[in-house]
A and B are shown apart, each in its own frame.
Chain A
Amino acid sequence: MIDLSMAEGFLSALLRVATPLLLAALGEMLAERAGVINLGVEGAMLAGALAAAIGASGAGPWAGLALAVAAGAVLAAGFAAVAIGARTDQIITGTATTLLALGLTGAIYRRAFGTTGAGLSLPTLKPLVVPGLSEVPLVCQPLFAQPLPTYLALAAVPLLWWFLFRTRTGLALRAVGESPASARAAGVPVRRMQVLATIAGGAFAGLAGGTLVLAQVGTFAERMTAGRGFIAIAIVVLGRWHPVGVLLAALLFGGATALQFLFQAAGLDVPYQLFLMLPYVLTLVLLAGVAGGVRAPAALGRTTE
């Protein structure tokens, strides 16, 4: 039987899973709209996660969150310097960026917190409960009792839509991703635009990693992002490079993952690995449905000469 509290638990889990994915995917979308595919998001998330742990253990969760954003931006800036500055292959440079972050975070973590860091427990961000609304059952109860990053992620959706489709800078950014040559002819500083979009994307990914540590797990662990950055890249494609599409895709992925909790609560005996696979399989199936009808930014991943 599925009752009200289980449904609320499901929605709450859905939002919890979706928040970091949505943040990272929105950032990646921004970069990809400018024609840059950054496989370093996974690394930027990881850097954000460790920075959040270090910041929070020294100066509280807010400092942790700020440091996470900065760490993601710095790593993305490094990627941009090589991939855009020296025009190397973006896919490979991004993979190397993630590898770099994996190594750096693993070693720095060990140095900062010692070998016994597993039990590390950090001050976390408490849910911000909206009085009144959070007492309305089902949808509102889980929605209005979330930690800050969830609200930030949801607010970023209309803001990014407005930025991309209603501002001059947003138009210029999209032009860079579609046709760098025409954008340059129109006086847009192509490479500066790409670098800034990539760094902003990294900041989002850093925030996503910080969210994981400060609002969810409460600790850092080696490789803790476990591929979420790569999922975010798939979510961008699934969401057709549009903020609202990305939101829907992130919620869908969150829902597919949260089903696990629902089924466990309902006491159904299904191997849990099935639920581990489900979000990925579902994403593949949906990509097959979406990919044919949608086009990536025309100059995505191509180095601009």
Chain B
Amino acid sequence: MRAGGWWRAGVALAAGLGVLALFFVASGFDPGEALGAMWRGAFGSWFALMSGTLIRAVPIALIALGFTVAYRAGALNIGGEGQFYAGAMAATWVGLHLGGWPGALAIPVALAAGFAAGAAWITVPVLLRRRFGVQEVISTLLLNFVAEALVSYAVQGPLQESQHIYPQSDALPASLHLPLLFGTRLHAGALLVVAAAGALAWVFARTRLGFELLASGLGPRAATVSGRIPVEKLAAGALLVSGAFAGLAGGTEVLGVSYALYPNLSPGYGFTGIAVALLARGAPLGILASAVLFGALEAGAGAMQRDAGVPAVAVYVAEAVIIVAVLLADRFAVRARREATA
């Protein structure tokens, strides 16, 4: 993120928390107590930072990175939530069958299954877009509901734990657990995220593919007419990668955090990921920073509910204001630039 980006993100964050505080005052919650609890839950201790904030930043960042790939190519993947669940299901299913394998082999295979399942889940919207012209905004969104129903079926049917009592899968064998970092609950998936962000930053900035993605997203007409850029193919590929990243997020969540499949595994990571991608304006390294911020908001929200009695959903007020503040800042920046050049 360039200096302007940090400045903009800071203003947006201040606006978000400011509005949240005002809302607390207006609705009769104690803003000091609520925001204080949020801070302690997000950054108050080494444990809060690693096991609260960063652990949530991992799936959010993966989904945001994927969203960005498609967004660059002019495609909107609103189905991160569904692809996350597809990946979680696949990783659980494969993981439960690989108990006898050494972890060094089993973990990559299970994660690859999550990655592939995310891509498979978005294949339907990709085909619908290419064959029938169905907007992917709607098809990916609808498939979220299908995925949630499918998980609900899986944990009460084929993937239910052996006692057949609880709606969840059996726990994965220890060999399938992702290694933990620094003796905290933060898992090695965090390293994967950093690597993925670095790789994408390189692709976007330094490769022909990165340029073609951007060109086809910004000016699909011009890119098509130029005849050198296969716009539709790029968009399809970008959507597949985007789904795969969300699927991988589902995989790392199961192998690194929950160790089993649950129906409510994601508290809305699919949508938070979109907000994070937009806040960072699609810059991969900026996404890492924004994901930590939103991870902190969500970790803080849990603490706020526990310690200050404020419902955790209130944090969405801050998230919404942050998104709108960024949109407005961008608009005014564009207008100011236009007036400066005029």
Listed in ascending order, the chain A residues whose CB lies under 8 Å from chain B are 82, 86-89, 91-93, 95-97, 99-100, 102-104, 106-111, 222-223, 227, 230-231, 233-234, 237, 271, 273-274, 276-277, 280-281, 283-284, 287-289, 291-292
Flag if A280 contacts B328 (CB, 8 Å): no
Q: Mark B271-284, 1 if CB is under 8 A from A, else 0.
A: 10011001000000
Residue of B nearest to A236 (CB): B138
Q: How far is the CB of A294 from chain B (nearest CB, A)?
A: 9
Q: What are the residues of chain B within 8 A of A108 when measuring CB–CB? A: 27
Q: What are the residues of chain A within 8 A of B49 when measuring CB–CB? A: none
**Interface flag for B316 (CB, 8 Å):** yes
Q: What are the residues of chain B within 8 A of A107 when measuring CB–CB? A: 23, 27, 29, 310-311, 313-314, 317
Flag if B134 contacts A276 (CB, 8 Å): no
The verdict on A277 contacting B149 (CB below 8 Å), with A86-B328, A230-B141, A284-B139 known, is: yes
CA distance A274 to B23 in the complex (A): 41
Listed in ascending order, the chain B residues whose CB lies under 8 Å from chain A are 23, 27-29, 76, 78, 124, 128, 131-135, 137-139, 141-146, 149-150, 152-153, 156-157, 271, 274-275, 278, 310-311, 313-321, 323-324, 327-328, 330-331
Q: How far is the CB of A37 from chain B (nearest CB, A)?
A: 9
Known: A82-B328, A233-B141. 16 other contacts (CB 8 A): A88-B324, A88-B331, A99-B319, A100-B317, A103-B313, A103-B316, A106-B313, A107-B310, A107-B311, A223-B313, A231-B142, A234-B141, A271-B153, A276-B145, A287-B132, A289-B132
- Interface SS, B side: helix
Flag if B143 contacts A284 (CB, 8 Å): yes
Flag if A92 contacts B320 (CB, 8 Å): no
Residue of A nearest to B332 (CB): A86
* B139, B145, B330: most-surrounded residue (chain A CB, <10 A): B145
Q: How far is the CB of B83 from chain A (nearest CB, A)?
A: 15
- B133 touches which of A231, A276, A291 (Cβ 8 Å): A291
The verdict on A280 contacting B142 (CB below 8 Å), with A93-B324, A95-B274 known, is: yes
Q: What are the residues of chain A within 8 A of B278 when measuring CB–CB? A: 92
CA distance A293 to B1 in the complex (A): 43
